[in-house]
């Protein structure tokens, strides 16, 4: 690869609790950790592969084996490098994100600045991050809510017959605002609207992907009539998806693993804001590497859900911290990562 060297290793994240959403449950997440080096400096990246992305450690390795950066003379050829990487395949977004994150981390280290400063962003503008509570029993939900006592917003997974039980259980112990992530679990628009009105009364801030992404007209009807905003998640993967989502949803959820990384995420934020759409910055189950990368963009978001590293018990890095529910950026160059011994 000429002046660049690339190393990677498979790693499996262990979740503190079994994680259940409307369509599946899991207790681990496969990831690939990468290192991109140039002239003595190293940038760190990560590909996280939850089931619905359709990627695996093997597929990411196969993608990385195709990458040849020998024709690029400098990491500052960022646009050309990332366009070359994107052109290698039509999918593989998590694999591409790992390289994008590592490249931004490397560039920040070369410039000796954290990336949010390079972009001119103010860390005081970061909204509180939500803490995610998966679908579970009443007793387990109460335990998870107790663990999240420092957080100002809870994100709750819905989409099954237990929806009202989950919300009522949380409301029995706390009145903090809730974000409802339905993961396409509701199928009938009238029932979805009934739930939207009820959830509005329960101090729920918005509905994330309330119905299947294929039900475009139903989602648009719900958005028009709902008392709370709707946010596209599964329906919004990359920059090219956004324009068609105008008037179908109130906003979009941007995740680095879906959109190929930091560069495209920033472009997506700017386009969504230009269309007067809300922006949520989210994550998968990830280490502090990908979470710290996403947090560089957090001052631009209306809502953030960057708790992925808090849900695991074997994080190999120290990155951004969360204090009283707020993600705290540092002056550490790049994405602000330290390797744990």
pLDDT in tens, 6-63: 999 999 999 998 877 766 677 899 999 999 999 999 999 999 998 778 999 999 999 9
For the segment 165-187, the average pLDDT, to the nearest whole number, is 97
Beta carbons within 10 angstroms of residue 325's beta carbon: 19
The model carries a pTM of 0.95
| Average pLDDT of the residues of the chain | 96
For the segment 261-265, the average pLDDT, to the nearest whole number, is 98
Least confident of 20-24, 275-279, 291-295: 20-24
For the segment 154-161, the average pLDDT, to the nearest whole number, is 95
| 117 token code pair | 């400063």
pLDDT at 116 over 80: yes
Specify the long-range contacts of residues 223-230, CB closer than 8 Å, at least 24 apart.
223/247, 223/248, 223/249, 223/250, 225/193, 225/196, 226/193, 226/196, 227/196, 227/197, 227/200, 228/196, 228/199, 228/200, 228/204, 229/205, 229/278, 230/206
> Between the CA of residue 189 and those of 88, 157, 166, 303, what are the distances in Å?
39, 18, 21, 25
pLDDT at 244 over 90: yes
What percentage of the chain has pLDDT greater than the value 90? 93
Distance (Å, whole) CA 52 – CA 165: 26
Which has the closest alpha carbon to 262: 32, 82, 49, 87? 82
Q: How many residues does the chain have?
A: 341
The pLDDT assigned to 2 comes to 61
Distance (Å, whole) CA 253 – CA 209: 9
The pLDDT assigned to 24 comes to 66
Distance (Å, whole) CA 26 – CA 19: 5
The pLDDT assigned to 144 comes to 92
The pLDDT assigned to 233 comes to 97
Distance (Å, whole) CA 275 – CA 29: 34
Assess contact for 44 and 289: CB atoms under 8 A: yes
pLDDT at 89 over 60: yes
pLDDT in tens, 179-236: 999 999 999 999 999 999 999 999 999 999 999 999 999 999 999 999 999 999 999 9
| 298 token code pair | 């957090």
Domains and CATH numbers, the chain: 4-115 (3.30.390.10), 117-339 (3.20.20.120)
């Amino acid at each position: 690869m000429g002046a660049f060297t690339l190393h990677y290793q498979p790693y499996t994240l262990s979740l503190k609790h079994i994680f259940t959403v409307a369509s599946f449950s899991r207790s681990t997440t496969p990831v690939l950790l990468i290192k991109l080096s140039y002239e003595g400096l190293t940038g760190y990246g990560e590909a996280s592969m939850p089931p619905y992305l359709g990627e695996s450690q093997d597929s990411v390795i196969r993608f990385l084996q195709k990458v040849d950066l020998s024709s690029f003379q400098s990491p500052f050829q960022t646009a050309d490098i990332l366009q070359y990487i994107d052109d290698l395949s039509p999918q593989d977004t998590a694999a591409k994100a790992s390289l994008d994150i590592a490249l931004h981390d490397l560039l920040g280290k070369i410039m000796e600045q954290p990336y949010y400063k390079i972009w001119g962003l103010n860390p005081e503008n970061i909204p509180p991050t939500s803490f995610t509570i998966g679908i579970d029993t009443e007793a387990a939900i109460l335990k998870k809510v107790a663990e999240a006592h420092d957080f100002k917003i809870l994100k709750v997974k819905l989409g099954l017959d237990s929806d009202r039980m989950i919300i009522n259980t949380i409301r029995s112990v706390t009145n903090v605002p809730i974000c409802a992530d339905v993961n396409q679990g509701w199928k009938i628009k009238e029932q979805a609207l009934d739930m939207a009105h009820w959830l509005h009364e329960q101090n729920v801030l918005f509905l994330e992907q309330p119905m299947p992404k294929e039900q475009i007209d139903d989602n648009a009807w719900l958005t028009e009539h709902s008392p709370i905003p709707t946010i596209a998640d599964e329906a919004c993967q990359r920059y090219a998806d956004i324009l068609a989502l105008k008037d179908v949803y109130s906003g979009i959820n941007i995740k680095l693993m879906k959109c190929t990384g930091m560069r495209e995420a920033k472009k997506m934020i700017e386009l969504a804001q230009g269309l007067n759409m809300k922006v949520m910055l989210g994550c998968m189950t990830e280490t502090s590497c990908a979470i710290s990368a996403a947090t560089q963009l957090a001052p631009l978001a209306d809502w953030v859900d960057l708790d992925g590293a808090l849900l695991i018990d074997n994080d190999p890095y120290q990155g951004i911290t969360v204090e009283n529910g707020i993600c705290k950026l540092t002056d550490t160059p790049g994405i602000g990562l330290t390797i744990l011994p």
